[in-house]
Structure 1
Amino acid sequence: MSTRPLKKILVKVSGEALAGDHSFGLEVKLLNIVATQLIEIANSGVQVAVVVGGGNIFRGMAVAAKGADRVVGDYMGMLSTVINALAIGDAVNQNGGKSKVFSNLDIPLVADNFTVRGARAAIEDGSIAVFGGGTGNPFFTTDTAAVLKAVELDCDAVIKATKVDGVYSEDPAINPDAERFDEISHDEVLRRGLRVMDMAAFAIARENNLPILVYALDSEGGLPAVLEGTARSTTIA
């Protein structure tokens, strides 16, 4: 990846990561840590957008695998991402920052409908734009929503906050000896079949030469340290 400073980023926060050590819900302390880190980055002059998952509340694919309707399950999952987006937006405001929450689902009482024009105006005005509702369509993950919005907003990179500190050859929770990568190319990720994102999301990133940084949400120094290059992360470019 270019060594030039990142001026506009999209942070993808997984719902599971927001649950912290719990299997469900939101860990308020962690939510406030995320918010203050986003504010710190925004105050440094970097334009910030956020896409949040909903796996801490509901996973449509898991329910569909047990026989439920996949479309209904996916819409339920998208609603859970709106809850998380509202939580992040409010945490930013409560910690002295400025946020604007958008949704790809039409819920005007709680969030503005997403448009590229509106999102660009928000982040150019210094707000942290928080996106819920996935892509607004079933059968697409929030990873795809994150990459699509990063491309639409002309972001310099997607920063993916997860429960692990980078990309591994295998799940490190299953194989403690799995190889960890500091840097890896899009092509190498595909060749090795590494599960960084779903294939639709990753294909869009690769086609648009969009770098992806993967780090652990609870890493020391957090997002600011990742952007400074002092925290453990993997760069895919």
Structure 2
Amino acid sequence: MYESDTFYDLCDRMGVLVWQDFLFACAGYPEDGPLYEEVAGEVRENVTRLMHHPSLVLWNGNNECVWGFWDWDWKPGLDGRNWGWRYYSELLPALVTELDPTRPYWNGSPYSGDPELHPNDPRHGNVHIWDVWNQEDYSHYANWNPRFVSEFGFQGPPNWSTLSRVLEPADLDLQTPAFLQHQKAGDGTGKLQRGLSAHLPQPVSHNPHAFATRLWADVRAERVQDVSMRRSTLTRVSSVPDLRGLLRRR
């Protein structure tokens, strides 16, 4: 999203660097008709508004749209129709070059820098690592040696005090309908249980102590992420370049 002026002012003062996405995420977008002109107007307005902020270090064309086109079975449904690539490869870079030429533009996140390369190739550009959350144990982070990680993470539960305020005591169980109503990730509870069961016994009750134990495991998963990624900055594996940075999704 485009934040308020106050947000960017605070980032300027506090030395917080902003990776600014344009507002395309996890979907295909038509390039025809009035939408194209609306996008151009929105981008022009916000680049002009934000370009003077030193905290803004990069304009990013989209989040997971190019990756989605490659790997999420869109192509049969599109049946040859456009899906947004013209925005990321033509319109957005042209407007950034015109309005804010000193600041870099990157086509997407993830993106490998070449439309002929897989967008989530760890040897090129930036990658998103979600195989751990979706399929693998968190120790699998040690097998990655990407150039730049722009998104990765592991779901963590809310504070126990928050859950206690919004749920009845009888509903404080991972499998109750009321609890699952607050779980927005597809099979999120199953992924949590699968990811943590190899490291901790299943709690016999859902009380603050058991919940804190599960939270500790989430913290440990993030610790493994950090250690593995930082180690990649010091280790060169065959011809793969060293890791140069990472951003964790919160």
TM-score (norm. length: structure 2): 0.34
The TM-score with structure 1 as length reference comes to 0.35
User: Which has the greater radius of gyration?
Assistant: 2
Structure having the larger proportion of residues in strand = 1
